[in-house]
Amino acid sequence: MNFLKILTKHFCISIIASLFFVLSLTAQEQKIGVVNFQALVESSPQFRDVMQSLAGEFQPRQREAVAKSKELEELTAKIQKDAAVMGASERANVEKEFRELQREVNRLATELEEDVNLRRNEELGKLQRSVLDAVNVYAQSNEYDMVFADGVIYASENVNITGLILESLQDDSQGDVN
């Protein structure tokens, strides 16, 4: 019963706090915006540039991994084709070569995946900070009192400024090219 009283008390405090917040909004005009931050990051030209840069950075290692995989496939086909006519020592040597090549292919793939993920996280972290700065600059220059991101369940188009900030990011991206 005591728990129920505490829960009711906290619920009432939450309702009262929400009412004060709503009343404070109506007492003075507030300019509020909402941003879909994830969509903003992923739609920005800077995101596309980061992804292209990362693809180019890791393309040589990707080619190497594909070539080793192809080499492993060819060795597998050779083993299947020639297994019946191989001697015991030749078969042992080919199986050893197969295991070593398989380990190398797995190692290359694992290292590549880890390195790509690490670099992607680094670059996306930088990009997210840059987009956050763009949101702050936009909000301040357009005199917004509050801008919400993530955690908003619904926002009308009247307060959704994602597209407007995306336009400023596109302008910034074009300014970097010129």
Q: What is the pLDDT of residues 80-128, one digit of tens each?
A: 888 788 888 888 898 899 999 999 999 999 999 999 999 999 999 999 9
Query: pTM of the predicted model, to two decimals?
Result: 0.68
Does 104 lie in the same domain as 148?
Answer: yes
Q: Are residues 104 and 128 in the same domain?
A: yes
Residue among 175, 157, 52, 63 at smallest CA distance from 109: 63
pLDDT mean over 51-69? 95
Provide the CATH number for the domain around residue 151: 3.30.910.20
Residues 85 and 151 both lie in one domain: yes
Domain that holds residue 161: 31-177
5 and 72 fall within a common domain = no
Residue 40: partners with Cβ closer than 8 Å, 6 or more residues away: 131, 135, 162, 165, 166, 169
CA distance linking residue 78 with residue 90, whole number of Å: 12
Which pLDDT tens digit goes with each residue over 10-37? 554 655 555 455 555 555 677 888 898 9
Domain identity same for 21 and 57: no
Task: Specify the number of domains making up the chain.
Answer: 2
4 has a pLDDT exceeding 70? no
Q: Does 81 share its domain with 162?
A: yes
